[in-house]
Amino acid sequence: MSFRSVGLVRLAFLLAGLFAARSVSCQDLVLRAEFWAESEPVEVLPAEISDTAPRVVVPDEVVRSLLDEGRYIFAGMIWGFEFRYVPYDKTRGVVEELDIVPLGAIPWGDPRLAAAQTRLTGTQLRAYLEYRPDPTAAARKAGWGQANFQSAQGRGSAPLAGGREARKTALDQAAKEALRELLRPVEKNKPREIRGLFAYDASPRIVITGGTYTAIVRIRVRVAEIRGYSVY
């Protein structure tokens, strides 16, 4: 399979989505999920300042962090990612690698993204976010349900000390585990690299366990290219 295979798969997938867009309305699909972000430190305004009951003020960067994660996850459910996976090969001294490139993004301030039911639970800011994609994006999301995509699930972790960036690391590690399990039969032949596409099948869960962020993801995957080692 040629180096252009991934690009051709992306093109075919896009064309299929455009045809499907004729029957998908933006009102037909609403992505909704709960997101949270650590809210320490917080500021408590006394009643005499807030004119009512004492009020908790969450730093702006925490709110932005929550919204950024929502934008990233929803985009990953709609447009998905391109991946390049290099399996570990002890004999050749090859270390495992996974490169993930987003194929789309929700711009900051997109009016289709809205927050609801925001609340503070302990030191966590929680909110349900909703995104209403346009017909073309909704069709793209529906395209991941095609029969030529496979399902996989994985779990990944990253130390809490890594801060908010560690949450994305945990998501990537979970995707790596899901891909590794799905591609295990292929790995037995020790390919040089595997390329393809994947998307979140649902909003991933991120929890704190034992000093780490742990992410649980379900993905839809399509392998586009398997490159072997050259034989001389």
pLDDT at 10: 53
Find how far residue 187's CA is from the centre of its chain: 24
**Among the ranges given (18-22, 146-150, 219-223), the one the predictor scored with the smallest mean pLDDT:** 18-22
Residue 17 reports pLDDT greater than 70: no
pLDDT value at residue 2: 44
CA atoms of 169 and 128, how far apart (whole Å): 22
In sequence order, what are the residues at sequence separation of 6 or more whose Cβ sits closer than 8 angstroms to the Cβ of residue 5? 195, 224, 225
Q: What is the pLDDT of residue 231?
A: 59
Question: Would the pLDDT of 119 be above 60?
Answer: yes
Give percent of the chain above pLDDT 90. 60
What token pair was written down for 227? Answer: 């490159």
H helices, E strands: number in the chain: 6, 11
H or E stretch at 114: strand 113-121
Q: Enter the DSSP assignment of 109.
A: T
List, for residues 85-111, the tens digit of each pLDDT value.
Answer: 998 889 899 999 999 999 999 999 999
CA 1 to chain centre: 27
How deeply is 72 buried, as exposed, middle or buried, from its count of CB atoms within 10 A (0-12, 13-18, 19+)? middle
SS3 state at 4: coil
The whole-number average pLDDT for the span 23-30 is 64
Average predicted confidence (pLDDT) for the chain: 84
CA–CA dist 157, 220 (Å, integer): 20
* Predicted local confidence at residue 60, as pLDDT: 85
Domains of the chain: which residue ranges? Answer: 5-227
* 24-28, 75-79, 108-112, range with the lowest pLDDT: 24-28
Read off the pLDDT of each residue in 56-78 and give the average, rounded to a whole number: 90
Kindly give the pairing relationship between strand 113-121 and strand 31-38.
Answer: unpaired
The conformation of residue 91, written as its DSSP 8-state character, comes to: T
Q: State the Cα torsion 113-26-104-2 to the nearest 10°.
A: 160
| Residue 123: predicted pLDDT | 79
